């Protein structure tokens, strides 16, 4: 009886966290068009970033889909706030914000870089 109760509580917790989550959709540059409200934009930095994340018009750069070649749409991004050390052209990153007049305006301090090494398959010990 106790084991069933614990299992039921865990199942409810899993369902709740899956549904409640953070409530923010994860989108790519090719799927962000037409979405309103705050979303997470996941992409690869292309071109040369310009501006300053701490002053004036902010840091400006473009994102494209991570796994698509040169045919992927590019979305211009404006960002203010702390910039991770790994930020550079070619970096995979996530920013939260919303699309305004074709430009993704990121929330201050929402930039997170993704490390591709952490997502690569483990190397085989059989060499």
Residue 7 has pLDDT above 90, yes or no: no
Could you give phi then psi for residue 80, rounded to 5 degrees? -125, 140
pLDDT digits over 16-43, tens only? 544 444 567 889 999 998 888 899 999 9
Contacting residues for 43 by C-beta, under 8 A, at least 6 apart? 28, 29, 63, 64, 65, 66, 75, 92, 93
Do β-strands 25-27 and 39-51 pair in parallel, antiparallel, or remain unpaired?
A: parallel
- Tell me: the pLDDT tens digits for 39-64? 999 999 999 999 999 988 999 999 99
Check residues 7 and 88 and name the one with the higher pLDDT.
Answer: 88
pTM for this entry: 0.72
């Amino acid at each position: 009886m106790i084991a069933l109760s614990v299992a039921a509580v865990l199942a409810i917790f899993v369902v709740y966290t899956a549904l409640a989550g953070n409530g923010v959709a994860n989108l790519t540059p090719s799927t962000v068009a037409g979405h309103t409200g705050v979303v997470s934009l996941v992409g690869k930095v292309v071109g040369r970033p310009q501006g300053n994340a701490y002053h004036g018009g902010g840091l400006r750069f473009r994102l494209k889909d991570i796994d698509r070649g040169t045919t992927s749409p590019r979305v211009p991004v404006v960002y203010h706030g702390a910039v991770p050390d790994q930020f550079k052209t070619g970096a995979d990153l996530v920013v939260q914000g919303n699309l305004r007049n074709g430009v993704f305006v990121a929330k201050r301090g929402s930039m997170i870089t993704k490390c591709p090494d952490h997502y690569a398959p483990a190397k085989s010990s059989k060499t």
